[in-house]
Amino acid sequence: MLKNLNAVYKPGRRVGNMLKLKSEANELDLVITGGEWGTGKRSGWISSFILSCKKNGEYLEVGRVGTGIGEKVNEENKVTFDELTKILTPLILEEKGKDIRIKPKIVMTVHYQDIQKSPTYASGWALRFPRITAMRPDKPISEIATLDEIEKDFVETKKRNFKYG
């Protein structure tokens, strides 16, 4: 936590005076295999993306991400929801309500803080606090992270942090 030294401390409040700083422990290149159509101001865009790693030619989900992508073009965001939706729409394999399944073609670099065990995702793992940092048109899906790499990173993170087990 970072706190303005001149500000009065108020338990449970950090707006304007305090900032939570989270480290980015690692990054992975993963493929988009699904998503969800947005609502409200993100209506008409795919606004939540399911990311997958690979194991023996199969794609296993490791989490959802909706941050790191912009609503408008600016220097900070390399890709917008609108651009990514236009790229992914022709790759949609199936739609069930707001959920969609996407043909694995688009590789993204994702930064995340930790990895934890998860009964929700097919890989058995989930990324904590993932954020898309780049679209990787230069990288083939044959080079995305493997399940073995994710498990190895979990062990290394566990040794560093002693948080999960």
| CATH architecture designation of domain 24-161 | Beta Barrel (2.40)
Q: Measuring CA to CA, which residue among 76, 63, 71 is closest to residue 120?
A: 63
CA angle 117–120–124, rounded 5-degree value? 40
How far out from the chain centre does Cα 118 lie? 15
pLDDT tens for residues 111-154?
998 889 999 999 999 999 999 988 999 999 999 999 999 999 88
Residue type, 133: T
How far out from the chain centre does Cα 158 lie? 20
- Give the percent of the chain with pLDDT over 70: 80
Residue 165 has pLDDT above 50, yes or no: no
pLDDT tens for residues 87-113?
999 999 999 999 999 999 999 999 998
SS3 (DSSP) at 127: strand
The secondary structure of residue 91, as a DSSP letter, is G
Per-residue tokens: 138: 């230069």
SS3 (DSSP) at 163: coil
Largest Cα span, the chain:
56
Report whether 106 contacts 52 (CB < 8 A): no
pLDDT at 109: 93
Over residues 8-27, mean pLDDT: 66
Mean pLDDT score of the chain? 85
C-alpha span between 162 and 165 (Å, rounded): 8
Give this prediction's pTM: 0.80
SS3 (DSSP) at 85: helix
Residue 62 has pLDDT above 90, yes or no: yes
Domain boundaries, the chain: 24-161
pLDDT at 61: 96
